[in-house]
Structure 1
Amino acid sequence: MGPKSKELPRRRKKVARKQLRVAPYFVSLLVVAGLLWLAAFAGTGFKSFPIPKLGLDLQGGMTMTLKASLPNNGTPDAARLEQARQIIEDRVNGTGVAEPEVYVEGSDHIVVNVAGKEANAEKLREVGAPAELRFREVLAGPGEDYTQQDPEDFKKETQKDKDDKDKDKESDKDSSDEEKADNPSDDKSSKDDKSESPSDDKSSKDDDKDKGEDPADVDNSVKEQRKKLEKKLGKELIGAAEQFVAQAEAMVKQGQQLSPQMFPQLGYTEDFAKFGKLSPDEVAVLAPSWQYYIPNIGCGQLNGRTPGAISEIKEQVVACNRPSDADIKAAKKQKQSAYTKYLMAEAKVVGEDISNATVQPDQQQAGAYAVGISFTDSGASKWKKLATATVGKNVSIVLDNEVVSAPTIEQGAGSGGSVEITGGFSSDDANLLAEQLKYGSLPASFTVETIDEVSPTLGLSQMYAGLLAGGVGVALVILYCLVYYRLMGFVVIVSLLVSGAVLYPAISMLGAQIGFTLTLAGVAGFIVAIGITADSFVVFFERLKDEVKEGRSSRSAVPRAWTRARRTILSANTVQIIGALVLYFVAIGAIKGFAFTLGLSTLFDILVVFLFTHPLVSWVSRSRILDNPFLSGLHTGRRRTPASVSVRGAVSPKES
């Protein structure tokens, strides 16, 4: 008895060393959950509780199908269709909707899904139209952009501004109507001096009729925006700006060059910095001369205007150039802006006047390429008139809101029905420009096949039915675990709650960061994943139950059961993830959402089982609760072989 009694404390000490340290696992899970929740709140700007972004079937909206075609009824290839998809997505974003779903369907269709109440059928129709191409004489420019603005920053802000405007649209309309009733004289605007006021009205009523808009509504809308802008800037700044623009315009007409050193003499003050804080939509309602001559208005604001903001044919407009990536990098190194501003006259030739555009070697510059343009019969006549009137001057080619080229017109350029655009283009740049001139900014022509309003009623009812089915399924799983595993059933309940607490912020964060939308198919993926998570618990518990049946205590059975169970858990989840990946890459539409949520839930299942369920069971096993056959279901059918019972063929210790 002496030696055995001395060995007992050592064995207990050895067993204690093998016990799992559960604290690091819980801390790791807490850190992961904390980071996910932090990212989710960051996606809302820490202004509200994070909510997953819902898809079209759950909150309603509009869906539009565009059919692509090439001349002679040809079909665009995959690369050209993908280019068109990206451009259309940018245009839909420009209409003010948040994170639209734009994807290619089949070989010649592009589907646009816009969720939410901000969906507008007329705006959706416009995104599939070719870019509005304009040939305009350059009246002034290229002028230096002193602001060094990044256009991408303003394009992102445009969507936020539109969201705010949509919310205040009805209240602003009511208040403006009251103001008009009290001050009917405010509706009058001066059309004689185009540079004297930001309230200059230059809308073309004929063009508005072509677009199906009521000219009166357009005029009133612009006037309302200009009134609000005048109040925002203040009368003193408006007066100073009028004086500055008038003097700067007069100096340029006399052939003098403007420079920052001359600005104070023209009336420039520090208050002009307010112009640099205006949104692109606010800048769009200013007179073109203001947009060009006020140095605080930069190309970031001008390029951030919504597509079509300078589409009016009979108006003067201001736009900026389209520098290459190399030019932008070089300008940043020199702490300068790669953008320049152009003040341009009304358009004399438009995109409809072009019949074809081809890439050809530049005869004037070795290694460079040029773009040859062929006009229609009527377009050739228009071009001849424009080229004859602008010999020695620059004529800009404007696509949407950007100047893609501003060549100098040489003598005889108007002869014939074609023209060559040079500018030291690379092969890629020339091909891109040719495609844009040929098809607008889209590499194919698109027609609207269908445009329908989608009601969330059916989707919501199906979602509620799915959630009800999922809730019943979860309740049955929990009930089964409580009856069969008893105390261990509470481990299942807590683990499922932890899984939901980690998965929810992940979905919200993905919606804010990458635009992931939760659809009805995605909800189905989560419900299916609950069964996968429950399977992991069952595998672990059954392996633990087998160890207890062999006569081991729950304390010693947990590490042995986990070592064998984790292989099965990892294998099953790996197969599930592979299946989800394959389904995601080969499927289209809503099935992708199902595959994504299924794979994501499976990953979080592994995380919860390894960092929470296993440590929790290990911690509970240190007490005697699991050894109680009434509290734990691990002892059902337990086999015991008493030491006094001899096995056939073996000799009992007493017999020896």
Structure 2
Amino acid sequence: MTPAKRRPPYGARLAALLVVAGLGLGLVLIQGYKPRLGLDLKGGIAIVLRAEGQPTGEAMDKAVEIIRSRVDGLGIGEPEITRQGNDLIQVQIPGVQDPERAESVVGRTAQLSFRPVVGVATDTVIPQDATDTSAASRPPVTPPNEDDPAATVRFPLKQSPDTVLILGPVALMGDQVTRADATLAAGSEVVTLEFTGEGQAAFKKITGELACNPQGDPKRQLAIVLDGVIESAPQMGTEVQCNQGISQGAQITTGSAQEARDLALVLRYGSLPVALTVEAREQVSPTVGGDALKAGLVAGGIGLALVMIYAVLYYRGLGLVVIGGLAIFGTLNYVVVSLLGESVGMAITLSGIAGLIVSIGITADSYIVYFERIKDEARSGKSMRLAVERGFKGAYRTIIAADTVSLMAAGLLWLLTVGGVKGFAFFLGIATIMDLIMAWFFTQNVVALLADSRLFGGGFLSLESAVADSDDAGGDA
């Protein structure tokens, strides 16, 4: 006598999925989270940059790569950064919450440099065309286009524009920085730096010279300059020795985590192989993309309705499972897209929506594979419960194989492409993973629980009638 085989926890699995979907949807609705739309759907800012002189194609490609890394560091999803002609680069930033901050990081494209502070400007000059009396409190500054690396210049502090520092010749350039990371050290927000061999030698030399000045003296500061603005001017710590300097990297203490992240971005991606100026800046209207989205959603809705009607007519009661499954599938995808938009700024564009729509076809194929397996098992004389259980084992192997191919394709597209195609690949991959979850936690469990219900007991909705109709169709053929 053998013990009865224990039945899998179909109800518990289904309940777990429903609870997760319900809690996720509740969180999104209560918090007011919504999918963050891309530039073609929601609008954003578009910046056109022009390269000075006669840049090479290689230099322009490198500039595009650096700018893309800089925008990615802002946490903005799917930026569009493309070359236009020989000397233009277009930067489109979708769904940006703080356009001024984005432009300050992206739009300043001059080369980054490190200069010693030689003094604080105290003289004031009232411009002849000044209309604001506060201009008298602002010392004159060196125009960015007159910045000479070998000369003494006067630039304002980014955090306090009325404070102008007098800076000596450039000690080292930003392209000699190999790494810059914002981190927390000893309870303070800091930016850690690493340099090339030549850069480290130059950094050790200049920091050793600055350390010879008294503590608190402005001449003990090293200014980090980008496009005629001093991003930061850290002072040498007491541990830095005169004429010895800093020989292993460096740490710059900042006032806040946001300041540390922004400074790290500038240090990491500040230097460009070409000098760029902002040619144009504009807000982009989402009208055209919105109209296309409406048309696409209407067409997708009609197609989805036709699929559901066909599923009910062909698979009878199992067609209702398809309808319920697609509803939960859509809910989970909505929750994931909304949370990604809120947490990491991932924006969805028309191409991303296309990836989600394609994934609906992948999910429908998974239902068809399983249902056809059930019909095959039922035709062989097995009971409905056994047909459901054995059918899923074979079907899930096929589903895993098919979804693995889709994931590999999405992964390759993600790695080898940029822009819209990258968004298509990302959301297709997310939805494909969701299909595997749905098959395991929803489809097999719902069908197994319904196997003993009246839904399979007879009538139009019964699986037996669907199998019989299939057999009749095969015989007539």
TM bin (shorter chain) = 0.5 to 0.7
Cα-to-partner distance string for 1:287-342 (whole Å, 9 max, x where unaligned)? xxxxxxxxxxxxxxxxxxx983434576899xxxxxx999987x71xx78989xxx
Does the 8 A contact of 1:60 with 1:454 survive in 2? yes
SS of the residue 1:467 aligns to = helix
Tell me the equivalent position of 2:173. Answer: none
Tell me the equivalent position of 2:223. Answer: 397
- In structure 1, give the amino acid aligned to 2:12: P
Does the 8 A contact of 1:203 with 1:312 survive in 2? no
Does the 8 A contact of 1:52 with 1:511 survive in 2? yes
What is the 5 A alignment of 1:176-575? 206=127, 215-216=131-132, 308-312=158-162, 332=186, 359=198, 368-369=204-205, 394=220, 396-399=222-225, 400-403=230-233, 423-426=245-248, 444-448=274-278, 451-575=281-405
Cα 1:83–1:73 change in 2 (3 A) is closer
Tell me the equivalent position of 1:587. Answer: 417
Q: Does structure 1 residue 61 correspond to structure 2 residue 49?
A: no
Cα-to-partner distance string for 1:538-591 (whole Å, 9 max, x where unaligned)? 111111112222233322211121121111111111111111111111111111
Does the 8 A contact of 1:68 with 1:75 survive in 2? no
Cα 1:564–1:370 change in 2 (3 A) is same
Out of 95, 103, 127, the residue aligned to residue 107 of structure 2 is 127
Tell me the equivalent position of 1:606. Answer: 436
- In structure 2, give the amino acid aligned to 1:55: G
Does the 8 A contact of 1:481 with 1:492 survive in 2? yes
Separation in 1 of the partners of 2:421 and 2:334? 20
SS of the residue 1:423 aligns to = coil
Separation in 2 of the partners of 1:89 and 1:636? 52
Cα 1:129–1:313 change in 2 (3 A) is farther
- In structure 2, give the amino acid aligned to 1:33: A
Cα-to-partner distance string for 1:200-244 (whole Å, 9 max, x where unaligned)? xx997649x7xxxx854x959xx9xxxxxxxxxxxxxxxxxxxxx
- In structure 2, give the amino acid aligned to 1:397: A
Q: Does structure 1 residue 628 correspond to structure 2 residue 450?
A: no
**How many Å apart are 1:630 and its aligned residue?**
2.8
Separation in 1 of the partners of 2:270 and 2:66? 13
Does the 8 A contact of 1:398 with 1:405 survive in 2? no
Does the 8 A contact of 1:491 with 1:617 survive in 2? yes
Separation in 1 of the partners of 2:234 and 2:313? 73
Cα 1:57–1:537 change in 2 (3 A) is same
- In structure 2, give the amino acid aligned to 1:618: A
Cα 1:36–1:608 change in 2 (3 A) is same
Tell me the equivalent position of 2:31. Answer: 48
Out of 16, 29, 38, the residue aligned to residue 28 of structure 1 is 16
- In structure 2, give the amino acid aligned to 1:64: I
SS of the residue 1:401 aligns to = strand
SS of the residue 2:455 aligns to = coil
- In structure 2, give the amino acid aligned to 1:111: V
Aligned residues between the structures = 400
SS of the residue 1:20 aligns to = coil
Separation in 1 of the partners of 2:410 and 2:198? 45
- In structure 2, give the amino acid aligned to 1:495: G
Tell me the equivalent position of 1:175. Answer: none
- In structure 1, give the amino acid aligned to 2:160: I
Cα 1:634–1:116 change in 2 (3 A) is farther
Separation in 2 of the partners of 1:337 and 1:527? 43
TM-score by length of 1: 0.50
**How many Å apart are 1:523 and its aligned residue?**
1.0
**How many Å apart are 1:89 and its aligned residue?**
6.5
Cα 1:503–1:361 change in 2 (3 A) is closer
Does the 8 A contact of 2:118 with 2:166 survive in 1? no
TM-score by length of 2: 0.67
Separation in 1 of the partners of 2:313 and 2:124? 76
Cα-to-partner distance string for 1:43-66 (whole Å, 9 max, x where unaligned)? xxx973211111111111222243
Q: Does structure 1 residue 115 correspond to structure 2 residue 103?
A: no
**How many Å apart are 1:67 and its aligned residue?**
5.0
- In structure 1, give the amino acid aligned to 2:34: I
Alignment root-mean-square deviation, CA: 5.0
- In structure 2, give the amino acid aligned to 1:25: R
- In structure 1, give the amino acid aligned to 2:314: Y
Cα 1:572–1:203 change in 2 (3 A) is farther
- In structure 1, give the amino acid aligned to 2:158: G
- In structure 2, give the amino acid aligned to 1:130: A
SS of the residue 1:542 aligns to = helix
Does the 8 A contact of 1:362 with 1:422 survive in 2? no
**How many Å apart are 1:36 and its aligned residue?**
4.2
**How many Å apart are 1:18 and its aligned residue?**
5.2
Separation in 2 of the partners of 1:564 and 1:449? 60
Tell me the equivalent position of 1:412. Answer: none
Does the 8 A contact of 2:358 with 2:428 survive in 1? yes
Gaps of 5+ in 1: 1-9, 141-193, 195-201, 224-284, 286-305, 318-323, 340-357, 372-390, 408-420, 430-435, 640-656
Does the 8 A contact of 1:36 with 1:505 survive in 2? yes
SS of the residue 2:298 aligns to = helix
**How many Å apart are 1:447 and its aligned residue?**
3.0
Tell me the equivalent position of 2:257. Answer: none
Separation in 1 of the partners of 2:282 and 2:120? 44
Cα-to-partner distance string for 1:593-629 (whole Å, 9 max, x where unaligned)? 1111111111111111110111000000022431315
**How many Å apart are 1:23 and its aligned residue?**
2.2
Does the 8 A contact of 1:307 with 1:401 survive in 2? yes
SS of the residue 2:437 aligns to = helix
Cα-to-partner distance string for 1:621-654 (whole Å, 9 max, x where unaligned)? 0224313153224434549xxxxxxxxxxxxxxx
Tell me the equivalent position of 2:427. Answer: 597
- In structure 2, give the amino acid aligned to 1:559: E
Does the 8 A contact of 2:158 with 2:232 survive in 1? no
Separation in 1 of the partners of 2:182 and 2:344? 29
Separation in 2 of the partners of 1:327 and 1:456? 35
**How many Å apart are 1:444 and its aligned residue?**
4.3
**How many Å apart are 1:29 and its aligned residue?**
1.6
SS of the residue 1:308 aligns to = coil
Cα 1:428–1:581 change in 2 (3 A) is same
Q: Which structure would you say has the larger Rg?
A: 1
Does the 8 A contact of 2:455 with 2:461 survive in 1? yes
Does the 8 A contact of 1:101 with 1:112 survive in 2? no
Cα 1:23–1:422 change in 2 (3 A) is same
SS of the residue 2:457 aligns to = coil
SS of the residue 2:47 aligns to = strand
Cα 1:19–1:361 change in 2 (3 A) is closer
Separation in 1 of the partners of 2:21 and 2:120? 59
